[in-house]
Amino acid sequence: MKTHFTDIKHLIQVRRNTIKLVAGTDMAHLPSLENAFLSIENDKIVDFGEMKDFRSSSQDEIIDLKGKIVLPTWVDSHTHLVFAGSRENEFTDRIKGLSYQEIAERGGGILNSAEKLKHADEECLFQEAFKRLNRLIALGTGAIEIKSGYGLSHEAELKMLRVIKRLQQNSPIPVKSTYLAAHALPTEFKNSKTDYVTSIIEDTLPYVAKENLAEYIDVFCEKGYFDLVDTDRILKAGAKFGLKPKVHVNQFNAFGGVKVSVENNAVSIDHLEVLTAEDIEQLKHSDTIPVALPGCSFFLGIPYTPGRTLINEGLPLALASDYNPGSTPNGNMNSILSLACIKMKLLPEEAINALTINAAAALELSEKVGSISKGKLANFIITKPITSYNYLPYSYGENCIDQVWINGKKFDYESH
């Protein structure tokens, strides 16, 4: 039996020929239909079009969506969703004047989360992350990436990755796993960073690969964390096991992380708050997708990724939440949409493309999600009656979502 959604005021991001991503001026184009229908069967989209072309058979279910807008669910290609505890004390320290880096130098930051995670029970970690994930689905996230990186030891990293695997197995949405191999230097390796990197490469990475715990590998390539040599070593070691790079680069400093990531065929490079002309040239000659994380810029009060420049230079751009307890305690992609428009000066069309089709490409999920296309998963958002899709980023504090459908079923948050 098919289900038809009819009289849709505006059906957004319809793509008849599936394309991988949009770049440059094409990002301002968001194909959509007015007064439309959408048909689904089992977990897939089977048809869509204008109401004048709508046909149904008597066994089909029809759901009238007058006044409502339908768009594909958001794809969040960068999160640290598995974590223990919160860090609001650092939040108040920052209000009083300390910077993110100063807090980290005093043993806070990632080390603070790692200490909490070390003592957290695996089952509790899973239950908390599962709740977070379901809250995000109710807010319209229909595919997600989750990183390890708060373990900082063989055992604790594996604990995180096992939790991510359980989320993969229990969640209705696609979950991609990233081994964030080098996130911060644990205190016991304070004077021997090279040994720590060697232990990652020789002890943990082979195990992660053997147990099939991750598809991607990540490094926090940043001054005071891991340098170009560390990044290159880890990415090359990951590649030997088939793990593809998605890298944290240029959050605070630009010193060649983009080049190293591109040379290692990174699927995406994420953050990029600081970008040089040379970095942009590197990106132009690569298939690596730049990912901006405006929630982090907002929360830490650091510069926003120059997304406008990237688009004007003809590049694609994806947007993600970076949900984590330190720099972005928010996984709500609707607020990322608003921040991208308000702070990065992206048009709503550009931002919606960056949160859907391009984000799907940054997660290598273009065949399954990211647009309303025949054969893709029936993962979509139905809004409350609103005037236009511009209202979504504009009304930045309002929840405009009426329903979220995942795999062809209405997502029921209450049952989770």
| Nearest to 262, CA basis, from 240, 237, 290 | 290
Other CB atoms within a 10 A radius of the CB of residue 277 amount to 9
Residue 220 touching ligand NIG (CB under 6 A): yes
Closest contact distance (angstroms) between CB of 105 and ligand NIG is: 13
Question: What end-to-end distance do the CA atoms of the chain give, in Å?
Answer: 26
CA distance 158 to 151: 8
Other CB atoms within a 10 A radius of the CB of residue 391 amount to 15
Asked if 268 contacts 358 with a C-beta cutoff of 8 angstroms, the reply is no
Residues 291 to 350 in contact with Fe ion, rule: CB under 5 A = 322
Place of tokens 């929840």: 399
| Nearest to 341, CA basis, from 357, 317, 324, 365 | 317
Residue 324 touching ligand NIG (CB under 6 A): yes
# residues contacting Fe ion (CB under 5 A): 1
296 binds, among ligand NIG, Fe ion, none (CB under 5 to 8 A by kind): ligand NIG
Residue 326 touching ligand NIG (CB under 6 A): yes
275 binds, among Fe ion, ligand NIG, none (CB under 5 to 8 A by kind): none
Q: Which H/E stretch holds residue 69?
A: strand 69-72
Q: Which is nearer to ligand NIG, 233 or 248 (CB)?
A: 248
> Which of 132, 244, 248, 259 is the binder for ligand NIG (CB under 6 A)?
248
Q: Which is nearer to ligand NIG, 5 or 304 (CB)?
A: 304
| Nearest to 113, CA basis, from 50, 65, 63, 160 | 160
> Which of 156, 243, 296, 363 is the binder for ligand NIG (CB under 6 A)?
296
CA distance 18 to 91: 43
Residue 148 touching ligand NIG (CB under 6 A): no
CA distance 308 to 167: 35
Q: Which is nearer to ligand NIG, 251 or 335 (CB)?
A: 251
Applying CB under 6 A, the span of 16-24, 122-130, 319-327, 388-396 interacting with ligand NIG comes to 319-327
Binding mask 251-280 for ligand NIG (x = CB under 6 A): x-----------------------------
Residue 327 touching ligand NIG (CB under 6 A): yes
Q: Which is nearer to ligand NIG, 167 or 296 (CB)?
A: 296
39 binds, among Fe ion, ligand NIG, none (CB under 5 to 8 A by kind): none
Q: Which is nearer to Fe ion, 347 or 354 (CB)?
A: 354
> Which residues contact residue 178 at a Cβ distance below 8 angstroms, ignoring those fewer than 6 apart?
145, 146, 147, 148, 214, 215, 216, 217, 218, 246
Residues 55 to 114 in contact with ligand NIG, rule: CB under 6 A = 109-110, 113
CA distance 232 to 64: 54
Q: Which is nearer to ligand NIG, 251 or 353 (CB)?
A: 251
Other CB atoms within a 10 A radius of the CB of residue 195 amount to 11
251 binds, among Fe ion, ligand NIG, none (CB under 5 to 8 A by kind): ligand NIG
Biggest CA–CA distance in the chain, Å, is 72
Closest contact distance (angstroms) between CB of 323 and Fe ion is: 9
Helices 110-119 and 154-170 cross at an angle (nearest 10°) of 80
113 binds, among ligand NIG, Fe ion, none (CB under 5 to 8 A by kind): ligand NIG
Chain positions contacting Fe ion, by CB under 5 A? 322
Residue ranges in contact with ligand NIG by CB under 6 A? 109-110, 113, 220, 248, 251, 296, 322, 324-327
